[in-house]
Amino acid sequence: MTNRNNRAAFIALLAVFACALIGAGIGLHRVKSSYLRELRHTLISKQTQLKEARERVKQIPELQASYEELSNQVAILEPRLPAEAYIPTFLSQIQALALETDNSLTLIRPRPKRKAPAAAKSAEADVVAEGAETSTNQTPAAKKKAEEEKSPYDMLEIDVELEGTYWSALNFLEKLRAFPKMIAVNELSLKPKNAQKGAARSEPLMDIALQFTAVMAKEK
């Protein structure tokens, strides 16, 4: 009788232990499953971020092209200033660019506008007048003159002189591509300075002369 009671108690204890073990296993499985779901969610989130980053990287050339286009539009719109307003801003911008590229600005001087001879003006006026009567008789020179008169822009020639080295001059010219005004470099000359400042330099100083053509709004 005693052995049967002991056996029953042992079986009951074993059943309780088995139930506890199964419960612990189920609980651990739930915890691990929850942790695994979190890891999968994090992985999906990181994969999504990686995909978005790759898409943005692919868009970089397009964004750069768009930025350059906007910069060109700004370069066209900003020069719509009369000469009185254009020159001060041009001076400050060219001075900032010179300092950025280790050059010293020594001269900035607008050139006076070229005036055509009176006889030539009279002849062109006659041609334009005749062209007004019959456009088929307009000469190329008259057409060009008429187009220039219709254009809201004017051209201003500006002389700029810098002091720097050969490499700083190249850097200056490279940076001009992003200059915030529409300009064209018509002439460029480099010549060594006769007298070097201070002690002997690894790179000799040079006089850098440039002649720009700037696009600006016509004065009304």
Torsion sign (Cα): 93, 99, 102, 108 = positive
In CATH, the number for domain 83-114+152-217 is: 3.30.70.60
CB 180 within 8 A of CB 93: yes
- Closest C-alpha to 163, from 101, 219, 73, 115: 101
Give the DSSP H or E segment for 109.
Answer: strand 104-110
| pLDDT tens per residue across span 38-68 | 888 888 888 888 888 888 777 778 777 776 7
Alpha-carbon span 74 to 97, nearest angstrom:
18
Name the strand (E) or helix (H) holding 158: strand 153-164
Query: Domains of the chain: which residue ranges?
Result: 1-77, 83-114+152-217
For residue range 139-188, list pLDDT tens digits in order.
666 665 666 566 667 788 889 999 999 999 999 999 988 888 888 889 99
Distance separating alpha carbons of residues 98 and 186, to the nearest angstrom: 18
For 113-120, what is the mean pLDDT? 53
